[in-house]
Chain A
Amino acid sequence: MKPVSPDESMRGAAAGGDLTAAHQSYFGQPVLKRPHWDWKVVAYLFIGGIMGGSGILAALADGSRDKADRTLARSSRYLSLSLAAISPVMLIAHLGRPERFHHMLRIFKLKSVMSMGVWGLLLFSNVALVNAAHQLAEDGKAPRAFRALPRAAVGLMQAGLGAFMAGYTGVLLSATAIPLWAKGKRHIPAISVCSSVASACAANAIVLALVGGPARTISKLERLEFVAACAEAVLLLHFRRHAGESGEAMFSGHLGQSLRNFTLIGGLALPMAHNGMAFAPLRPTQHGLRTILVSALTLMGGYVFRYVLIEAGKASADDPQLALRPPQ
């Protein structure tokens, strides 16, 4: 039998075959299936981001020689642990079979970003617990014995795991066939990290403002938030150009409008205009209410970004033309 080499010109329009516009898909039917993820997943991405970002802030504050930063070490450690208690609830609630959550702990699978994330969350929670116990002991609310814990090492671990928690959700989305997410395989993970750090700065600034924390530390948070927000804005705008057709659902229509108003303008540009002032050398101001308002804007922007990302991903799955020509 003579082996038949596949006739490349037959393979598909992408490979040079000819197709009239009307026949480029099966009645315009979606090629891909939408994920069933709803607001619980959006909330998980958002909370996990603040949690991870707070882990990084805890290490920064702990390593600082400035006594004022002790308040931030306290707030970020407690915040990190509290959010580590909420995020598994969101994760479990989104499952079709929540009572089988522990099946994710049967295996450790490097190839599955979901598996890595679950193990990351588990590790992070434990490290956050140890770190919070240390803080409790320092605050005199727990046995002094906890102070013997290796603080620097645990702090560093929490920062590393925090960075993972802040970024892995972006990798999780981009390692799918969904056209928008696949197209953003570099952008989405990087934007997730930036948005998480900015949100963590904002959340901790709110806590510090509420407990009357030192203005100096709030100022530092504002500066870091400014840097993270700058990076996020640049990456988002670059992603818009890079995504092209795949990005239509995210950057135009009602989702695009939400992204522009609530993330790009409300959640990034406005807070940046305010936080940029933190770089001015001597600025003896009382923060208070203004800090809380500006930080709330940043948090809103972070939530809306994740909401738009998930919903626009679903919409892009419905377009057969995008799915028939996946980015290689």
Chain B
Amino acid sequence: MAKGFFTDTTLCIGCKACEVACKQWNQLPAEEYEFSAKSYDNTMQLSGTTWRHVKFIERTTAEDGVPASRWLMMSDVCKHCTHAGCLEACPTGAIIRNEFDDVYVQPDVCNGCGYCVPSCPFGVIDMVAQAAVPSVGPAAGDRDCGSLASGGVEGDESVLQRPSGIAAKCTLCYDRQNIAMTPACAKACPTESIQFGDVDDLKARAKERVTELRTRGVKGYLYGVDETTSVGDLNAFFLLTEPSEAYNLPAKPVLPSTHQPAGYAAAAAAAAVLALAGIAIFWVAPSGPGAA
């Protein structure tokens, strides 16, 4: 049965517990310190080493002429798409759909070709650079199942050994799911803004929540449920209260592989035209100067 996340942004208080819990459980190194000067957010985006990211969206409105500001907080994550661009693009078969119907990157199979990265319409998956892995401890290559490993080297708990040079993203805590545990982010969330469970149950619950919000005058909608786009529904879907662009989410995402037929056809047409020109020039036309 498909397992996923329902992230209800109306409940998020921006505490970043999910971000921290994810880093801890998956042994992901901190991002470099950088002051973004944009809201209470210096991480700014998901990356190969940040698999949950809380966006702090600042909105200013004028209520009765008095400027008011409010926050939209949203914990972003890999969407675990029904039709996943990253999975389709992967030439090694490293990216699979696991038994929980989630999109999982096998760290010991990926060879770092990088094709999944531009193939995700949400800009989620990214490469883990060599530099992101501390050089202490056994070489990263010796321990390929980093995200599944449970701890650092004996006696040196601080050493992180993520495999490097490969693509990485949220695993939907595949390892925890395997032992019937709730993913770390959902477990840590104090407001149940992140809920984990059977996708069908979550969808039903989410629809109820939308109705409830409306009776209270809050206009919300579900992003990633009953979608008609080529990407389809999202196993990690969201309840949003503003147009999706405010959250940096495309209103109508496109599955990149849908461009292939047109591309192959155009290439074949060009090749056919040039082949005919070549035949005319080499085989048919008089051979030019000094022809025998």
A residues with a Cβ closer than 8 A to B are 1-4, 6-7, 10-15, 17-19, 23-27, 29-37, 56-57, 60-61, 63-69, 94-101, 103-104, 106-107, 109, 111-115, 118, 159, 163, 166-168, 170-172, 174-178, 181-182, 185-194, 197, 215-216, 219-220, 223-224, 227-228, 231, 278, 281-285, 313, 317, 320, 323-328
CA distance A19 to B246 in the complex (A): 8
Beyond contacts A215-B289, A313-B118: 8 other A-B pairs, Cβ-Cβ < 8 A, are A27-B44, A29-B248, A96-B164, A163-B271, A185-B266, A223-B281, A317-B123, A325-B250
Interface size on B, residues (CB 8 A): 96
Residue in contact with B93 in the complex, picked from A31, A67, A107, A224, CB distance below 8 Å: A107
CA distance A228 to B275 in the complex (A): 10
Listed A/B pairs (20) with beta-carbon separation below 8 Å:
A1-B211, A4-B211, A10-B243, A13-B243, A13-B245, A15-B252, A17-B243, A18-B243, A24-B246, A25-B245, A26-B55, A33-B123, A103-B92, A114-B90, A167-B270, A215-B289, A224-B277, A228-B274, A278-B288, A283-B288
Q: Of all chain B residues, which has the CB nearest A230?
A: B277
Asked whether, in the complex, the Cβ of A56 is within 8 Å of the Cβ of B288, the reply is no
Looking at the complex, which of B20-28, B176-184, B218-226 is the stretch in contact with chain A?
A: B218-226
Asked whether, in the complex, the Cβ of B259 is within 8 Å of the Cβ of A185, the reply is yes
Min CB–CB distance B71 → chain A (angstroms): 13
Q: Of all chain A residues, which has the CB nearest B246?
A: A23
Looking at the complex, which of B153-161, B193-201, B202-210 is the stretch in contact with chain A?
A: B202-210
- Which residues in chain B, 127-154, are within 8 Å of chain A measured between CB atoms? 127-128, 130, 141
Asked whether, in the complex, the Cβ of A6 is within 8 Å of the Cβ of B221, the reply is yes
Q: Of all chain A residues, which has the CB nearest B48?
A: A33
In the complex, per-residue mask of B69-112: 1 if CB is within 8 Å of any chain A CB, else 0: 00000000000000001001111111000000000000001111
Asked whether, in the complex, the Cβ of A66 is within 8 Å of the Cβ of B287, the reply is yes
Asked whether, in the complex, the Cβ of B263 is within 8 Å of the Cβ of A170, the reply is yes
Asked whether, in the complex, the Cβ of B289 is within 8 Å of the Cβ of A219, the reply is yes
Residues of A within 8 A of B166 (CB): 96-97
CA distance A181 to B264 in the complex (A): 14
Residues of A within 8 A of B125 (CB): 33
A-B contact count (CB 8 A): 324
Min CB–CB distance B251 → chain A (angstroms): 3
Q: Of all chain B residues, which has the CB nearest A12?
A: B251
CA distance A197 to B112 in the complex (A): 30
CA distance A300 to B121 in the complex (A): 33
Residues of B within 8 A of A182 (CB): 254, 256, 259
Asked whether, in the complex, the Cβ of A35 is within 8 Å of the Cβ of B89, the reply is no
Min CB–CB distance A24 → chain B (angstroms): 5
In the complex, which of the residues A4, A19, A60, A106 has the most CB atoms of chain B within 10 Å of its own CB atom? A4
Asked whether, in the complex, the Cβ of A168 is within 8 Å of the Cβ of B267, the reply is yes
Residues of A within 8 A of B207 (CB): 1, 3-4
Residue in contact with A11 in the complex, picked from B221, B278, B282, CB distance below 8 Å: B221
**Which 8 A/B pairs are nearest by Cβ-Cβ distance?**
A96-B112, A12-B251, A167-B267, A96-B165, A100-B111, A171-B263, A115-B91, A189-B267
CA distance A57 to B44 in the complex (A): 51
Residues of A within 8 A of B120 (CB): 32-33, 177
Residue in contact with B263 in the complex, picked from A34, A36, A114, A175, CB distance below 8 Å: A175
Residue in contact with A31 in the complex, picked from B109, B240, B248, CB distance below 8 Å: B248
Is B8 interfacial (CB 8 A cutoff)? no
Asked whether, in the complex, the Cβ of A171 is within 8 Å of the Cβ of B267, the reply is yes
Asked whether, in the complex, the Cβ of A95 is within 8 Å of the Cβ of B245, the reply is no
Known: A56-B278, A111-B88. A29 touches B244 (CB 8 A): no
CA distance A46 to B63 in the complex (A): 59
Known: A1-B204, A228-B274. A35 touches B225 (CB 8 A): no
CA distance A2 to B210 in the complex (A): 11
CA distance A166 to B283 in the complex (A): 22
Residues of A within 8 A of B191 (CB): none
Min CB–CB distance A201 → chain B (angstroms): 9
CA distance A168 to B265 in the complex (A): 11
Asked whether, in the complex, the Cβ of B282 is within 8 Å of the Cβ of A177, the reply is no
CA distance A145 to B110 in the complex (A): 43
Residues of A within 8 A of B119 (CB): 175-177
Residues of B within 8 A of A168 (CB): 267
Min CB–CB distance B139 → chain A (angstroms): 12
Residues of A within 8 A of B290 (CB): 215-216, 284
In the complex, which of the residues B44, B123, B220 has the most CB atoms of chain A within 10 Å of its own CB atom? B123
CA distance A11 to B254 in the complex (A): 15
Min CB–CB distance A65 → chain B (angstroms): 7
Asked whether, in the complex, the Cβ of A60 is within 8 Å of the Cβ of B279, the reply is yes
Asked whether, in the complex, the Cβ of A186 is within 8 Å of the Cβ of B263, the reply is yes
Asked whether, in the complex, the Cβ of A97 is within 8 Å of the Cβ of B278, the reply is no
Is B30 interfacial (CB 8 A cutoff)? no
Is B15 interfacial (CB 8 A cutoff)? no
CA distance A243 to B129 in the complex (A): 32
Residues of B within 8 A of A115 (CB): 91
Known: A7-B219, A97-B110, A223-B281. A111 touches B257 (CB 8 A): yes
Residues of A within 8 A of B222 (CB): 4, 6
CA distance A219 to B250 in the complex (A): 52
Asked whether, in the complex, the Cβ of A104 is within 8 Å of the Cβ of B91, the reply is yes
Residue in contact with B111 in the complex, picked from A96, A281, A323, CB distance below 8 Å: A96
Residues of B within 8 A of A284 (CB): 289-290
Known: A7-B219, A68-B287, A193-B274. A32 touches B245 (CB 8 A): no
Known: A64-B282, A112-B89, A177-B256. A192 touches B267 (CB 8 A): yes
